[in-house]
């Protein structure tokens, strides 16, 4: 991958048309915010552009997705946003894995699968980079773009609570409010509203919590049984991986989430002082310093033992 500047990203995009914008599977607020903000901006620049994702976009983001009419076209240019690895393309997008023209991302672990790329691991949210690309494209930021960028920033920084929230995160969020972003509505929806299923899920997750290494490691489990019992959908479990790390004294929080019977997605969280990305790399995964993950298959007790042991080496 050839690294280019923000201005060059804008130039490349302004030369292209019929642009497909790839999101990672299990899309979160930053992926969705980036893709829809960029799509709106490209359309304002006269292009055809459409965000695509292997998975359905969770309904709670409809205030973003409903603002963009579906466009159907033969893609001529492919850009990925907030996407670190072709492993995250999912089955519907994997056909594009060798065809990505431009990659805009904030994951230091980005595998460089695209022809050109701009990666800024210092950006709290990829949406902060997309905002600069839109500025460089000289497209005015309207309310739809502002809502999408604002959503990316607040969801990826945990409403400014995570260590990745920088002065720039606050400043761009404020700028988006000035462009019409509905900050109160978005923050309330993302951080102060829970479905009954989510609540049930949290209760079960709390009941499953265990502590290791003198309370410095906390683990929770989200099994298929728990998901069924709570009636939770995929969107209802978002952010639950942050729960164990919230407990006073916990340095590493670990969530074991059963994707299919016997296959677990493991999420690790720290306060940024411990590099959980390095720990997850030992288990075949990766991510950010304070938030990383990996996948493992087998007996859950064995998996738990292995993961806690690896985590313990960092204390």
Which of 6, 145, 165, 222 binds a second copy (CB under 8 A)? It is 165
Which of 45, 52, 136, 159 binds a second copy (CB under 8 A)? It is 159
Q: Does 247 bind a second copy (CB under 8 A)?
A: yes
Environment class of residue 252 by beta-carbon count within 10 Å: exposed (0-12), middle (13-18) or buried (19+)? buried
Q: Does 215 bind a second copy (CB under 8 A)?
A: yes
Environment class of residue 305 by beta-carbon count within 10 Å: exposed (0-12), middle (13-18) or buried (19+)? exposed
In the bound state with a second copy, the residue whose beta carbon lies nearer, of 100 and 204, is: 204
Location of structure tokens 């923000």: 6
Q: Does 195 bind a second copy (CB under 8 A)?
A: yes
In the bound state with a second copy, the residue whose beta carbon lies nearer, of 20 and 204, is: 204
Q: Does 231 bind a second copy (CB under 8 A)?
A: no
Q: Which of 114, 119, 120, 87 minimizes the C-alpha distance to 100?
A: 114
Coil vs helix vs strand at 162: coil
Question: Which of the ranges 44-52, 134-142, 194-202, 302-310 carries the binding residues for a second copy, by CB under 8 A?
Answer: 194-202
Which of 94, 121, 199, 315 binds a second copy (CB under 8 A)? It is 199
Neighbours of 242 (CB within 10 A): 16
CB 295, min distance to a second copy, A: 26
DSSP structural state of residue 251: S
Q: Are 21 and 35 in contact (CB under 8 A)?
A: yes
In the bound state with a second copy, the residue whose beta carbon lies nearer, of 52 and 159, is: 159
Distance CA 5, CA 132 (A): 11
Which of 187, 230, 267, 277 binds a second copy (CB under 8 A)? It is 187
Q: Copy the structure tokens of residue 89.
A: 């393309």
Q: Does 193 bind a second copy (CB under 8 A)?
A: yes
Question: Which of the ranges 136-144, 193-201, 224-232, 291-299 carries the binding residues for a second copy, by CB under 8 A?
Answer: 193-201
Tell me the CA distances in angstroms from 222 to 20, 64, 293, 300, one per residue in order: 34, 29, 15, 11
Site string for a second copy, 264-293 (x = CB under 8 A): -------xx---------------------
Q: Does 196 bind a second copy (CB under 8 A)?
A: yes
Sheet holding 210-212, edge to edge: 210-212, 217-222, 252-260, 263-269, 291-297, 286-287
β-bridge mates for residue 52, sequence order: 22
In the bound state with a second copy, the residue whose beta carbon lies nearer, of 94 and 199, is: 199
Q: Which stretches of the chain bind a second copy, using CB under 8 A?
A: 154, 158-163, 165-167, 170-171, 173-174, 177-178, 183-184, 187-188, 191-196, 199, 202-203, 206-207, 209, 215, 242, 246-249, 271-272
């Amino acid at each position: 991958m050839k690294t280019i500047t923000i201005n060059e990203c804008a130039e490349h995009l302004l030369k292209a048309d019929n642009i497909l914008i790839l999101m990672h599977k299990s899309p979160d607020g930053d992926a969705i915010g980036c893709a829809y903000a960029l799509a709106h901006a490209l359309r304002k620049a006269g292009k055809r552009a459409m965000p695509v994702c292997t998975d359905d976009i969770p309904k709670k983001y409809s205030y973003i997705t409903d603002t963009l009419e579906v466009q159907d076209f033969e893609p001529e240019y492919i850009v990925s946003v907030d996407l670190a690895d072709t492993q995250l393309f999912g089955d519907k997008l994997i056909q594009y894995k060798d065809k990505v023209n431009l990659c805009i991302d904030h994951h230091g672990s980005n595998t460089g699968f695209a022809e050109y790329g701009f990666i800024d691991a210092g950006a709290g949210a990829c949406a902060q980079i997309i905002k600069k690309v839109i500025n460089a494209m000289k497209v005015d930021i309207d309310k739809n773009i502002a809502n999408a960028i604002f959503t990316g920033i607040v969801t990826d920084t945990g409403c400014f609570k995570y260590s990745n929230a920088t002065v720039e995160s606050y400043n761009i969020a404020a700028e988006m409010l000035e462009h019409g972003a509905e900050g109160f509505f978005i923050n309330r929806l993302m951080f102060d509203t829970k479905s009954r299923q989510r609540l049930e899920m949290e209760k079960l997750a709390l009941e499953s919590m265990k502590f290791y290494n003198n309370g410095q490691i906390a683990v929770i489990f989200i099994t298929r049984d728990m998901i069924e019992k709570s009636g939770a959908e995929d969107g209802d479990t978002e952010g639950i991986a942050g729960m164990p790390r919230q407990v006073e004294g916990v340095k590493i929080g670990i969530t074991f989430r059963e994707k299919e019977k016997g296959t677990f997605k493991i999420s690790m969280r720290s306060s940024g002082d411990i590099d959980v990305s390095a720990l997850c790399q030992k288990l075949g995964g990766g991510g950010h310093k304070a938030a990383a993950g990996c996948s493992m298959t087998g007996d859950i007790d064995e998996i738990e033992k292995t993961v806690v042991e690896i985590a313990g080496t960092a204390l």
